[in-house]
Chain A
């Protein structure tokens, strides 16, 4: 059965800290791995990764995929209170279906 596992499930840090969120997967038909940020409402798109070893960056956020070891990490440097959210990892299959992990809840304290 297709599975996406995120760790840790929750994390509390202070502003300025750097965090690393993990996502491992077992899926039959892998197309891409996506990261989303969910605050109070809709998940908002962060990154889509399809190739191993190529880092994607957006400001203080970056992500990389390892298709051999079947995992991805999301890094956030110099965290701010506005980074507090649930971070969701998902795998896209060849049908377009997204299979989500359970999410990592990040709380950044001032």
Chain B
């Protein structure tokens, strides 16, 4: 009965590699997000998709590319990983109405360590 799930939970990889993180939600939401939480626990938005359309694209290196095959899935692909990419990446989802967005529900996070 998991609401927002992410895989993998942990990812350890070397600099220069390419990796992907997957996110799925079964809440019936139409909007999904990627956030990065750094070592100081500060959460920052990276991307958001509404009905498979990119609606938020923050100042993120173009080595990061999100992909949303359908409303229930949002994946994050990272090319040429760098040490500074080490962080916890959270996926979230929410419902969008005509007047705005409802509360976001977060996945368990993926801890990425680049060595």
Contact = CB atoms under 8 A, between A and B. Distances in A.
A96 B107 CA distance: 17
A99 B90 CA distance: 14
B43 A88 contact: yes
A31 B100 contact: yes
Central interface residue in B48, B58, B104, by most chain A CB within 10 Å: B104
A106 interface: no
Q: Secondary structure at chain B's binding surface: helix, strand, loop or mixed?
A: strand
A100 B101 contact: no
Contacts, number: 63
B56 interface: yes
Contacts of A48: 102-103
Interface string A36-57: 1010011111001000000000
Interface of A: 31-32, 34, 36, 38, 41-45, 48, 86, 88, 90, 92, 94-100, 102-103
Interface of B: 4, 31, 33, 35, 40-45, 48, 50, 55-56, 58, 90, 92, 94, 96, 100-109
